[in-house]
């Protein structure tokens, strides 16, 4: 199966980029599609991190303001996992380590890749790679983030079982932490044995 771009035009350039794309692609039944117009939100590669202390069986979650949830009845402050965008020349592991420190004061001693997925491929090229990060949770607390990025991030260090309760109750309602915690819940005992 093949596809081709007929025309690509920049519609907006800011923190993210938005392009208008005219394209055609092969059809499953044979032949080619008509010329289609699609918008593509260029967000790039995101790296997300779930820090875990296997000794205390605690995870590190963060809470911050998110404009996308501004109209939600529960408000725009969301419980999430640490995340950031990969800059040119950075490895995914470097981003994970940097973001863990910037957003939560976490020192990462080991990283395990959990999953990599497209967040919304119908209109965005963003891929998110999630890592489980081994850390020592004692002393991790407070408010973090970079002033120049306008970050105001509250850290939550909680028992794994409490995180699963938050997940199952709907308190955690963003894709990356849901995926990370479901993966972790399935693999937790194996990870504890491996890292303890």
Domain 45-195 class, CATH top level: alpha beta
Q: Is 151 a catalytic residue?
A: no
Say which residue the tokens 């790296």 belong to.
47
Q: Which of 94, 110, 149, 161 is catalytic?
A: 149
Gap between the Cα atoms of 121 and 99, Å rounded = 24
Cβ neighbors of 128 (< 8 A, separation 6 or more) are 46, 47, 48, 83, 116, 117, 118, 119, 175, 176
> Where exactly are the structural domains of the chain?
3-42, 45-195
Tokens of 13: 């350039």
Gap between the Cα atoms of 93 and 112, Å rounded = 9
What is the band of 148 on the pLDDT scale with cuts at 50, 70, 90? Answer: confident
Q: What is the pLDDT of residues 36-60, one digit of tens each?
A: 999 999 998 999 999 999 999 999 9
pTM of the model: 0.92
What pLDDT score was predicted for residue 56? Answer: 97
Q: Count H helices, E strands: the chain?
A: 3, 11
Average pLDDT (7-15) is 96
Q: What is the pLDDT of residues 89-98, one digit of tens each?
A: 999 999 999 9
What is the band of 181 on the pLDDT scale with cuts at 50, 70, 90? Answer: very high
The dihedral through the CA atoms of 18, 19, 20, 25 has a sign that is negative
Average pLDDT (80-95) is 96
Average pLDDT (74-83) is 95
């Amino acid at each position: 199966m093949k596809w081709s771009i007929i025309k690509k035009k920049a519609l907006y350039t800011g923190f993210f980029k938005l392009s208008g794309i005219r394209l055609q692609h092969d059809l499953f039944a044979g032949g080619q599609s008509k010329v289609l117009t699609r918008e593509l939100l260029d967000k790039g590669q995101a790296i997300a991190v779930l820090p875990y202390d296997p000794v205390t069986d605690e995870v590190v979650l963060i809470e911050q303001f998110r404009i996308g949830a501004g109209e939600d009845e529960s408000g725009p402050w969301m419980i999430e996992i640490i995340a950031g965008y990969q800059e040119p020349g950075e490895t995914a592991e470097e981003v994970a380590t940097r973001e863990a420190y910037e957003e939560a004061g976490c020192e990462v001693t080991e990283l395990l890749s959990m999953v990599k997925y497209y967040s919304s491929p119908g209109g965005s090229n963003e891929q998110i790679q999630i890592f489980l990060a081994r850390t020592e949770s004692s002393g991790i607390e407070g408010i973090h983030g970079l002033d120049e990025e306008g970050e105001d991030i509250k850290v939550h260090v909680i028992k794994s079982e409490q995180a699963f309760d938050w997940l199952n109750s709907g308190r955690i309602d963003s894709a990356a932490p849901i995926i990370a915690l479901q993966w972790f819940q399935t693999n937790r005992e194996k990870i504890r044995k491996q890292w303890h």
